[in-house]
Structure formats: structure tokens, C-alpha cells
Structure 1
Amino acid sequence: MSNSLPHDQFLDASGLECPMPLLKTKMALKALAPAQVLYVLATDAGSWRDIRKYVDLSSHELLDAKVVDDAYQFWIRKGV
């Protein structure tokens, strides 16, 4: 798995089914300081839509998102 962007925390949500990847992403972001970056790895196809939609509706910033070998990767900078 390529984790090409620097990040402060890694969340492995592999094998979890909807809505767990999104819920764990929200909890992990809550624990970070503003401007820190969370790298999320998920395998549930719904997370591609759910996590991106959540970030769009929040103060967080999606730095990058990729699909590699049936895995979904997200780099999210925590907003204020």
C-alpha cells in the first residue's frame, strides 16, 4: 500500500463494513489537533462515497484520495 503523503496518524479500517469506517474516521479526527493529517485505509466500497461526503460537509480538508487494489485511501487534514 502506498501512503505517499505525510500523516500524523494512521487508521486501518480494512475489513470493516459500513458505517464503521466513517465512524472510526470521525473519532480519529476528533482526537487530532487542528492541521494534523489522518491517513485512512478502508476496504468497504461505501467508504469512498461516505468519507468524501463527510469531509465536504465538515471543516476538514481532503488532501488526497486513491483507490489501489480494492482499497480506499484518504488523507484528511483536520479543520478547526
Structure 2
Amino acid sequence: MDIEVTYELDCRGLLCPMPVVKTAKAIKQIEVGQVLKMVSTDAGSPPDMEAWCRQTGHQLLSATQEGGAYIFLIRRTK
């Protein structure tokens, strides 16, 4: 599945809650239907991003881990 990423956000080295705070701000910079890629090294990011997407209604397309980084693809829904 090829997903076109509109915006990339590098949150490596930031601790909770900053990856969520920066993601919330960045998602407003893209249009509805577009995809944000967020990369984080904070081990708390996977449950935080799942909860944030549930609460905000944005679609978490994927959450993967590569090396020491977590990679999230989030589609803006509203």
C-alpha cells in the first residue's frame, strides 16, 4: 500500500507529551485527507498516538518501529 505523505514531523529525542503536542499542531498545517508522518524515539509514543487519534478522530494508518524509532502515518479526517 503506497501512502503519499504530505508532511514529515521529526520528534526524535523529545519526551512525552511533546510528540503529541507537536503532532496536534502539525496536523492543522495539512488539508483533510492528507497524511502526516511523525517519527519519535519516545517509548510512550505508540500508546499516546493511538489514544490521541481515537480522541481526535484522525486516522492512524500505521504505527511501525524501525531501529530505535517509531513511525506513525496519520490521515487528517477533519
TM-score in same-fold range (> 0.5): yes
The whole-number CA distance in structure 1 between the counterparts of 2:41 and 2:72 is: 12
Correspondence for 1:36: 34
Q: Which residue of 1 aligns with 2:22?
A: 24
Query: What secondary structure sits across from 1:57 in the alignment?
Result: helix
Residue 7 of structure 2 corresponds to residue 9 of structure 1 = yes
Tell me, in whole angstroms, the C-alpha distance in 1 between the residues paired with 2:50 and 2:19: 12
Cα drift, residue 39 of structure 1: 0.3
* Pairwise CA distance, 1:76: 0.2
User: Quick one: which amino acid aligns to residue 17 of structure 1?
Assistant: L
Rounded to whole Å, the distance in 2 between the matches of 1:36 and 1:47 is 21
Corresponding residue for residue 55 of structure 2: 57
Q: Which runs of 4+ in 1 moved over 4 A?
A: none
Task: Tell me the C-alpha RMSD between the 2 structures.
Answer: 1.2
1:71 aligns with 2:69: yes
Give percent identity, aligned residues only: 39
State the Cα distance separating 1:36 from its structure 2 match. 0.7
